[in-house]
């Protein structure tokens, strides 16, 4: 485990099943109880994940969101991604190729050189068109 400012990166174990989940969660729980926890779970070593593992990820996400934080995943292997898709939770997590990219994503808007200046609608639509449509 290592800390990059406010973002905490933790490596998940190779086996994310019932037995391993409890041990891992015991280590993660204090971090989840901080104010606005920003956590990246590095999945690069995960070889097997089952429903207990996915439930643990959901529990961690829920705890982080309760405290106005977030939990992101990095280096998710294709096999793990298939299990997440099968259990319909893949859309709940932001996934990144590396932990660095996941950590940077917490600061993306703050560090962004070009904040969005354009209105949300396309330039192809003119105000008159929008008025006419309404």
Partner 1 sequence: MNLGAIIVIANPGGTFARKPPAGDVLRGNSLSCFDVAGRSLTERIIDRYLGAGIDLVSVLIEEPACGDLSTFHVTSAKVNIAVVSDLNSAIARRLQNYSENGLARSFVQWTNVYAETDLLDFFYFHRASKLPVTWAFDADGSLPMCVIDCANRPTIDFPLAAQNPAQNAASYLIHGYVKRLTHPKNLREFAADMLQGRCECRPSGHESKPGVWIDASAELHRGARIVAPAYIGRGSKIMDDTLITRLSCIEKNCCVDCGTVIENSSVLANTQVGIWLDVCHAVVSGNRLLSLSRDMTVEVSDPDLIRFTAAASRSTSEASHRLEDYRRAPDFQTPSALPEAWQFVSNFIRE
Measured at the CA of 32, the angle between CA 60 and CA 80, to 5 degrees, comes to: 30
Is residue 92 a contact residue for partner 1 (CB under 8 A)?
no
Among residues 1, 65, 79, 130, which is the contact residue for partner 1, using CB under 8 A?
A: 79
Long-range (24+ apart) CB contacts under 8 A made by 21-30 are 21/52, 21/53, 21/55, 21/56, 24/56, 25/56, 25/59, 25/60, 27/1, 28/60
- Provide the 8-state DSSP code for 12: P
Is residue 78 a contact residue for partner 1 (CB under 8 A)?
yes
Is residue 19 a contact residue for partner 1 (CB under 8 A)?
no
Among residues 1, 86, 92, 130, which is the contact residue for partner 1, using CB under 8 A?
A: 86
Contact at 8 Å (CB) between 12 and 24?
A: yes
Candidates 3-11, 38-46, 61-69, 79-87: pick the segment binding partner 1 (CB under 8 A). 79-87
Q: Convert residues 33-72 into a mask of x (bound to partner 1 by CB under 8 A) and - (unbound).
A: ---------------x-xxx--------------------
19: Cβ–Cβ under 8 A, 6 or more apart, which residues?
none
Per CB under 8 A, residues contacting partner 1 are 17, 48, 50-52, 78-79, 81-83, 85-88
């Amino acid at each position: 485990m290592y800390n990059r400012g406010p973002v905490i990166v933790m490596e998940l174990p190779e086996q994310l099943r019932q037995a391993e989940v409890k041990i891992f969660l015991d280590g993660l729980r204090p971090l989840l109880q901080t104010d606005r926890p920003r956590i990246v779970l590095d999945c690069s070593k995960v070889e097997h994940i089952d429903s207990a593992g996915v439930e643990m990820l959901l529990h961690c996400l829920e705890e982080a969101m309760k405290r106005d934080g977030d939990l992101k995943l990095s280096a998710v292997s294709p096999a793990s991604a298939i299990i997440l898709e099968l259990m319909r939770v893949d859309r709940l997590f932001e996934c990144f190729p590396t932990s660095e990219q996941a950590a940077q994503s917490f600061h993306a808007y703050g560090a962004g050189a070009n904040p969005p200046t354009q209105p949300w609608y396309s330039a192809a639509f003119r105000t008159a068109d929008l008025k006419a449509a309404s």
